[in-house]
Amino acid sequence: MTTADLTERTAEVVDLPTVVIVGRPNVGKSTLFNRIMGSQQAIVEDQPGITRDRKELEASWLEVEFRLIDTGGWMPPGHGSDLDDKVSAQVEEAVDDADVVLFVVDASVGLTDDDSMIANWLRRSGHEVMVIANKADNDRRETDRWEFLSLGLGDPIPVSALHGRRAGDLLDEVVARFPDEARAPRDHPGEPGSGDDPDDVAPDAPRIAIVGRPNVGKSTLFNRLVGEDRAVVHDMAGTTRDAIDTLVETEDGPMVFIDTAGMRRKGRIDDSTEYYSMVRALRAIDDADVALLVIDGTEGVTSQDQRLAERVDASGCPILIVLNKWELVGAEDRIDVMSELHRKLAFVGDAPILKISALTGKNVTRLLPHLRESIAQYHTRLPTKDVNKVLAAAQQRAPGPKGAKVLYAMQGATDPPTFTLFVNREIPATYLRYLERTIREEFGLGSTAIKMRVRKRS
């Protein structure tokens, strides 16, 4: 199987109308995105250039569902840096698939040359465009919106995304632009064909978080896995700000891949944007079924890599170690890199180690079998009689110190597998690790975390 065959994007699996928010930097696009979603989904900061990647979620208004996409600030080619050009390319790709484009302008600033250039581009695109005069916080600002009539894109709609002023009126107008079939009521739960019958509902797609230090190749790997340039890739550290997730159909079924911001030590975080980026990345780890820890093979394992591995291990989800840029590591250095990795990350146990090149795609296809195995281990549910049989045999081979004994055991939860041991007296930590290792080996739980809870008989 080639890299091109690895995945195919499945955002269109549910045929929902698509609404894309565009505009120049710092006009309040992400604030409007959060207002429509009804929660703080995108990072918002009072400075331009915070949003860089496309962030796509499902939204609804008056029971009409649609896909909502937040984008970075668009700039014409040659008017910004190389990074600005890549952000603009992401915006243009989003608009290509749009049913309705919300062109956000700043009513408090008025019409700018950049607004005019964006309007010229949008008119050529041939898409349905609505001009949104944001920051219209009062009646006077609402009157100022008429200046934007000169853009030639219809009557501007005044809103205040921050305060919610006229947000409902805006959404009424957005929904009215959808095709009739998109505005038709959906089937009610339980009706034939609604998909809400328990037997018809597909299991939730597993979530795979791609984590690591800044500039180790996370976004490059993310784009390789989802099969398109979904995230902005640049050699400047910290390019990714928000956690971007994409549903992908693989040969093993649907999976959600999550690109996260690079995480540095807290002491080196010097602005609120990076802080919130880190918070989103940590939340993605906590919600993930598997974490891919990406390490720069040319630098080897750093102390920050160790801390990230500890954080992932503490979350309870399985970890796969990905040595990226392996093609740049000299043959004489590879043994040293592997030796250092085994020494510094020994606490993650038997976590698979994959040596890849996200840039060229070499060995990326080998991730899927390991992901499939790790996900299965994470959701493992073991029969109580089998657990007790294995623990009884383990205690017979090596009895507990000072008469300590597990009288009965059961698995209380999955994600990760969690076992409750009922004992006659306190179990030493070393013996508990022996029992945990036995369970792991006997049931083939590999690198997934295992939680052991001890209850002393009263």
The Cα 219–Cα 229 span in angstroms is 9
Ramachandran class of 402: left when φ > 0, alpha when ψ lies in -120 to 50, beta otherwise: left
**Tens digit of pLDDT for each residue in 45-95?**
444 444 445 677 888 888 888 888 888 777 666 555 556 666 677 777 878
- Under CATH, domain 384-456 is a member of which superfamily? K homology (KH) domain (3.30.300.20)
How, if at all, do strands 18-22 and 64-70 pair?
Answer: parallel
Angle at 292 between CA 291 and CA 297, to 5 degrees: 150
Fold of the domain built from segment(s) 18-178:
Rossmann fold (3.40.50)
What residue segments make up the domains of the chain, in order of their start?
A: 18-178, 207-378, 384-456
pLDDT value at residue 382:
93
The Cα 119–Cα 111 span in angstroms is 11
The Cα 353–Cα 367 span in angstroms is 10
Return the bridge partners of 248, or none.
9, 255
Please choose, from the candidates 357, 370, 353, the residue with its C-alpha nearest in 3D space to the C-alpha of residue 298.
357
pLDDT value at residue 449:
80
pLDDT value at residue 5:
45
**Tens digit of pLDDT for each residue in 326-381?**
999 988 899 999 999 999 988 887 788 999 998 898 998 888 888 888 888 888 99
Mean pLDDT by 10 residues, the chain (458 residues): 42 69 85 81 46 70 86 66 65 82 89 88 85 87 85 89 86 86 57 38 71 84 73 40 66 80 53 54 80 90 87 84 92 90 85 90 88 87 94 93 91 89 91 91 83 85
The Cα 272–Cα 278 span in angstroms is 10
Kindly list the distances between the CA atom of residue 174 and the CA atoms of 80, 121, 127, 155, 370, in Å, as whole numbers in the listed order.
Answer: 31, 21, 13, 13, 43
* Residue 184, token pair as written in the block: 């038709």
* Beta-carbon count within 10 A of 398 CB: 11
Shared fold status for 207-378 and 384-456: no
Angle at 215 between CA 33 and CA 1, to 5 degrees: 85
Element (H or E) spanning 209, and its range?
Answer: strand 207-212
* Beta-carbon count within 10 A of 407 CB: 12
pLDDT value at residue 390:
94
Contact, 154 vs 130, CB < 8 A? Answer: yes
Contact, 387 vs 367, CB < 8 A? Answer: no
Positive or negative: CA dihedral 117, 123, 126, 127: positive
CATH 3.40.50.300 fits 207-378, yes or no: yes
pLDDT value at residue 53:
57
Tokens 């949104």 sit on residue: 132
